[in-house]
Structure 1
């Protein structure tokens, strides 16, 4: 059964986006004229802090309450009713946690049917990748290189515009095991780093990793060796193992509380290695795209912008190092680098609504089928 289509796209239209792929319930309303009319996120960090990571069942149960609350708050913030909404956007096929996804998807379908609105499905990572088209005064130019860094993904994607509002995604590098966000989270747990208020383990580790000239342990820890140096691929599982080994050299009994000086020094070494690994792959991808080296393309691609997005793109150290790297590659002018605002790097519904706007524009207002299957995995390279 297909949802209806927008009758015309001449005026700015408004899309209600719903996001529930992991641990935050979110709803937002975005207009096709690039205006965020409302953006609500119901956090769950207080629920998951005790387990050191997302508890799938608790997250799903929390979404059952959080999604309706977020939708109501978004409509109130925008001072709108459903008659003012033109379409609904959700994530029908992930990627994300199946149970969590299903809460948002079922809510979106019910709203679309009850209010006779078009429903469009978007890809979670596609939404992250295209956020700067919403937020930047001068949006990035295509073709662009996306560094997608989150709790579930670490990949480099070449994004090209095949026609207005229609995009093609080519995966250049993916993770061979863990994502960078997952590595941050698990390393924070290994180092017994307490969560900051309203923050998850990744931002808490970043806070612990701040340089401290009084910390005498840092210089005793050698830089962590980076994995797969000659491959255009990511690998973060080994870094966690190195953290355990190096920490155990300084404090053998990891079952006891780790001294804060050791945890802070180790967090800094881990963050340096994790970010440098990502930087190396960005450089490698740009070289290959430009036709450099033995693996360079025979049909070179001139990348016009670099976009870093996803939850880990909030990390200030990553932002600084990536800016430095691109400035060194292109002295003087520099390759344009874009980050979404921090509030739109972590999971949010504004990016879902905006991706829905773009899909509707590319499809002349046509909605999707209402019975699209819910899948927790959906390769971005197959996005239609």
Structure 2
């Protein structure tokens, strides 16, 4: 089966073609970073309008790369949520219009399910089920137990800000612009991470939850006390070390709690080099292994949506992945864009 995937949850338009027999055939991604940079964040209306401009040209591009036509498509998967309402509606509208025109099934995919399964796209060394996943991005920071396609249990969640948001806000405080996560990581490489002491929020909370609002406040106070740009590299290094230590400690605790030795790291922050090194070292001590998606699949992308849709079809076409949390959260109770 050939599945066309459409991702439009925020500020990146992603299109991909996944074949259940031959794997990922082609994918393309357009980022709106340059457009939103001058506003210091994503402007929802601008994001929606840009998705409208990009989806069909990117679809034609991907089909051409794969040497296929629309009539070859057997199903269409699109990001149903969560995300910006207008941006999601663009993807949903185009997916359903194509589905009606081609007379093929249309599947709404939960954005987090796409991230959770993104490491399985690799044909070299995909992680076997079950595994623990650290989903760490601009909008989400969660630890999940992944037992199979469509069966996910939340072990820990952020109580306020996501890790990626904390990276971007810290970068703004240091004058690095938006989005500043990558720039902050580059600056941190030149700084002394031990010069300034920042808190490790909820490091000893006894659970697997996260909180990063206090860390952002601590960075704000620190930048006010040390406004000299010469100190910014040390502040960036201290922040990155604090973040890596918290994420690593909680991930290791999740592995011990579930008696698992496989950790999948997904989401944009998963591309951070210091975090990767800390996780690899910590999990190795437990006799386990860390699995990362390809760098191009760490951020939002169409490949993960096409793949999740394909796995849904292969595993019986169930309507949506069920995420069990404490308290319970069932995706089928969420409002549908269908």
How far apart, in 2, do the equivalents of 1:34 and 1:192 lie?
Answer: 46
Once the two structures are TM-superposed, the CA of residue 182 in structure 1 deviates from its matched residue by 0.9
* Residues matched between the structures, number: 326
Residue 3 of structure 1 corresponds to none
- Pair 1:239 & 2:215 matched: yes
Stretches of structure 2 lacking an aligned partner (at least 5 in a row) = 325-329, 333-338
Looking at secondary structure, tell me which structure has more strand per residue. 2
Partner-residue secondary structure (3-state), 2:139: coil
Aligned position for 2:262? 305
Q: Secondary structure at the match of 2:143?
A: strand
Distance 1:143 1:379 in 2: 15
1:237, distance to aligned residue in structure 2 (A): 0.8
CA contact (8 A) 2:203 2:249 kept: no
Correspondence for 2:225: 249
Q: Deviations over 1:331-378 (max 9, x none)?
A: xxxx121000000111000010000000011225x8x6xxx9xxxxx9
Asked whether 1:159 is paired with 2:132, we answer no
Q: Determine if the alignment matches structure 1 residue 314 to structure 2 residue 283.
A: no
CA distance in 2, matches of 1:354, 1:225: 36
- Report the TM-score, using the length of structure 1 for normalisation: 0.80
Q: 1:219, CA displacement in angstroms?
A: 5.1
What is aligned with 2:53?
A: 65
* Distance of 1:307 and 1:52 partners within structure 2: 31
**Structure-2 separation of matches of 1:190 and 1:250:** 11
SS at match of 1:103: helix
Deviations 1:141-177 (A, max 9, x none): 222000000111100001113xxxx431110000000
The match for 1:110 among 74, 85, 97 is 97
Q: Which moved more, 1:51-60 or 1:319-328?
A: 51-60
Q: Which of 267, 272, 275 matches 2:241?
A: 272
TM-score, normalised to structure 2, is 0.91
Q: Name structure 1 gaps, 5 residues minimum.
A: 1-12, 252-257, 291-302, 373-377
Which residue of the partner structure matches residue 204 of structure 1? 183
| Highest RCO, 1 vs 2 (Cα 8 Å, sep ≥ 6) | 1
User: Are 1:159 and 1:170, in contact at CA under 8 Å, matched by a contact in 2?
Assistant: yes
Matches of 2:39 and 2:202 in 1, distance apart? 29
Residues 153-204 of structure 1 deviation map (CA, whole Å, 9 limit, x = unaligned): 100001113xxxx431110000000000111111111211145xxxx32112
Match of residue 296 from structure 1: none
Pairwise CA RMSD = 2.0
1:39–1:349 contact (8 Å) kept in structure 2: yes
Distance 1:228 1:305, change over 3 A: closer
Secondary structure of the residue that 1:91 maps to in structure 2?
strand
Give the 5 Å matches for 1:1-384. 13-92=1-80, 94-161=81-148, 166-194=149-177, 200-212=179-191, 220-227=195-202, 229-230=204-205, 231-251=207-227, 259=229, 261-290=230-259, 303-330=260-287, 335-363=288-316, 380-381=323-324, 382-383=330-331
